[in-house]
Amino acid sequence: MEMKKKLYNDLATYLFNVFGKKVYKITIDAGLTCPNRLNGRGCLYCNDRGSGTGLMSKGYDIETQIKLGIDGLKRKYKKIGGYIAYFQSYTNTFAPIEVLERNWSVIRKFDDIVGLSIGTRPDCLNKDILALMNTFTDKYKVFLELGLQTINEHYLKWINRGHGVKEFIDAIKMSKQYDFHIVAHVIIGFMGETCDDVINLAKFLSSLDVHGVKIHLLYVAKHSPLEEEYYKGNFIPVTREKYVELVCAFLEHLKESIVIHRLTGDAHKGELIAPEWSADKAGVLTDITNTLIRKNSYQGRLWI
């Protein structure tokens, strides 16, 4: 019997294959900041919580956040095989090494945590930080989530990323020496973005052999500089149809082995300004699936 071809290399299947059980992520706010915010307003799309939960500023330390995360997941799901501690907010390598060690070591207090995921910028890594991350591979699967967003220098400048493509390439080369699962964060939905733009991005990531990709839709979040641009009429969000077309083109040109960690962005509750359609995350995912099926296509079909 012919095996049914998978449309894309989804995260849930990958995690199940790695851990042999269902694991869930707990997002953590370690109360750090980000060099891009200290030097200015930060990335155009970033809100005042550093794209995270803001829990540290509400008085919840890392241990408490993990406990709350575990309790919340237990209420939601019956069968849980373990957790991945995801340091998400701001730039999680932007602090003295002792602080990073203290932050990340909190996970050792929890027997059910099986993975450590660190979200950061490509220009905030060095050998010492990577060596520290490596000490966690003794017991944990370690994920490194690196923000690239786009390889279009014009867009990089417009969103005020504060780094270029070169820094991303250097960070990948440095990190590849370790046994980390490296995830590139990218944004789709820039004004005027074409299929060629996302195809070039997919080819670039494929040639660098990153292990995973997280796609964010460029949406307008409350209290982000982009909100101002949006109300001034300087930013028009991508339509749902165009977004689906761009994501499908990206997937078709992305190496089959790369794990898809996310296919669209989802704003925190009450945080979304535009586009409204992005709140229908399940519907957008269905549109992407249906488009690939209609085209008789799948991830990596046009990669080489």
Q: Which residue's entry shows tokens 């339509």?
A: 239
DSSP tag of 137: G
| Count of residues in contact with ligand SF4, rule CB under 6 A | 12
Q: Helix, strand, or coil here: 71?
A: helix
Q: What DSSP letter does each residue of 149-188 carry, written as one string? A: E-S-HHHHHHTT-S--HHHHHHHHHHHTTSS-EEEEEEEE
Residue 23 touches ligand SF4, criterion: CB under 6 A: no
Residue 300 touches ligand SF4, criterion: CB under 6 A: no
Residue 31 touches ligand SF4, criterion: CB under 6 A: no
Q: With CB under 6 A as the contact rule, which of the stretches 31-39, 104-112, 211-219, 226-234 interacts with ligand SF4?
A: 31-39
Q: With CB under 6 A as the contact rule, which of the stretches 42-50, 137-145, 201-209, 211-219 interacts with ligand SF4?
A: 42-50
Provide, rounded to whole angstroms, the least separation between the CB of residue 149 and ligand SF4.
9
Of 4, 3, 8, 15, give the one whose Cα is nearest residue 288.
8
Provide, rounded to whole angstroms, the least separation between the CB of residue 29 and ligand SF4.
11
What is d(CA 96, CA 75) in angstroms, rounded to the nearest whole number?
A: 36
End-to-end CA distance of the chain: 27
Among 86, 107, 121, 214, binds ligand SF4 (CB under 6 A): 121
Among 15, 28, 46, 129, binds ligand SF4 (CB under 6 A): 46
What is d(CA 304, CA 295) in angstroms, rounded to the nearest whole number?
A: 18
Among 36, 65, 88, 152, binds ligand SF4 (CB under 6 A): 36
What is d(CA 32, CA 291) in angstroms, rounded to the nearest whole number?
A: 40
Residue 37 touches ligand SF4, criterion: CB under 6 A: yes
Please name every residue paired with 113 in a beta bridge, in sequence order, or none if there are none. Answer: 83
Provide, rounded to whole angstroms, the least separation between the CB of residue 74 and ligand SF4.
29
Query: Which is closer to ligand SF4, CB of 91 or CB of 152?
Result: 91
| In contact, 177 and 207? CB cutoff 8 Å | no
- Quote the tokens at residue 31: 């109360």
Provide, rounded to whole angstroms, the least separation between the CB of residue 110 and ligand SF4.
25
Q: Is the peptide bond before 225 cis (omega within 30 degrees of 0)?
A: no
Residues 64-103 contacting ligand SF4, CB under 6 A: 90-91
Provide, rounded to whole angstroms, the least separation between the CB of residue 51 and ligand SF4.
5
List interacting residues with ligand SF4 (CB under 6 A). 34, 36-37, 42-43, 46, 50-51, 90-91, 121, 147
